[in-house]
């Protein structure tokens, strides 16, 4: 309840209006209740970042269990795009706060989870990636994150336009035929 209140305040008021008082009011709790669970705004933000990236990690891990590696790659891209586009303002602000607060453990967890999902799929891919699988997994993570985050920074809101571009980049990097929706 408090985390969702925080998410809504960020979406509606941005960082300027993101205060513990505003979060408490939006969540329908006292400010004391907010401080009971979170010692400050930074801790609240860190918990919100963890919640949101946890959702992305779960979607990516599920995607990696697809019937074919190509379908798994497509689903990872879909998960990344959906994560950015379902709540675009929140995703953008949390990305910025994640960097500002130096939430390295969270960033590392996301990197490991998504790179591991790519690595698992690449192990079953024919033809093999053009470089060592670990390198390819890291490159694919960087490629997807870069395109998706840049789209968010530009204010893009159309996942149906973004997803095909990311898929072309991923499949092109791997030397696979273009995977269009």
Q: Domain 1-39 is of which CATH architecture?
A: Orthogonal Bundle (1.10)
Banded model confidence at residue 127, pLDDT cuts 50, 70, 90 = confident
Write down the domain spans for the chain.
Answer: 1-39, 42-173
For residue 62, the Cα-to-chain-centroid distance in whole angstroms is 14
Q: pLDDT digits over 71-96, tens only?
A: 999 999 999 999 999 999 999 999 99
For residue 9, the Cα-to-chain-centroid distance in whole angstroms is 19
Banded model confidence at residue 130, pLDDT cuts 50, 70, 90 = confident
3 to 29, 31, 49: CA distances (angstroms): 12, 13, 10
Kindly give the residue spans of alpha helices, DSSP state H, lying in the chain.
Answer: 2-13, 20-27, 31-37, 41-63, 69-86, 88-100, 104-122, 133-154, 159-173
Q: pLDDT digits over 135-157, tens only?
A: 999 999 999 999 999 999 999 98
Rounded Cα distance between 178 and 134, Å, is 22
Question: Is 0.75 surpassed by the pTM of this model?
Answer: yes
For residue 144, the Cα-to-chain-centroid distance in whole angstroms is 10
Banded model confidence at residue 104, pLDDT cuts 50, 70, 90 = confident
Q: Which long-range contacts (CB under 8 A, 24 or more apart) does 14-22 make?
A: 14/89, 14/93, 15/93, 15/96, 15/97, 20/44
Taking the domain 42-173, which CATH number applies? 1.10.357
């Amino acid at each position: 309840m408090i985390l969702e209140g925080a998410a809504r305040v960020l979406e509606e008021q941005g960082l300027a209006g993101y205060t513990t008082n505003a979060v408490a009011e939006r969540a329908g709790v006292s400010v004391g209740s907010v401080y009971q669970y979170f010692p400050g705004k930074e801790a609240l933000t860190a918990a919100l970042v963890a919640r949101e990236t946890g959702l992305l990690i779960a979607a990516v891990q599920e995607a990696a269990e697809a019937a074919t590696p190509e379908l798994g790659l497509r689903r990872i891209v879909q998960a990344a795009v959906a994560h950015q586009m379902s709540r675009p303002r929140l995703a953008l602000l949390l990305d910025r706060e994640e960097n500002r607060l130096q939430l390295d453990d969270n960033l590392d967890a996301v990197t490991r989870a998504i790179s591991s999902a790519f690595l698992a799929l690449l192990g079953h891919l024919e033809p093999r990636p053009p470089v060592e699988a670990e390198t390819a997994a890291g490159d694919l993570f960087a490629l997807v994150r870069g395109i998706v985050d840049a789209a968010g920074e530009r204010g893009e809101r159309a996942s149906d336009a973004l997803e095909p571009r990311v898929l072309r980049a991923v499949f092109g990097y791997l030397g696979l035929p273009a995977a269009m929706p």
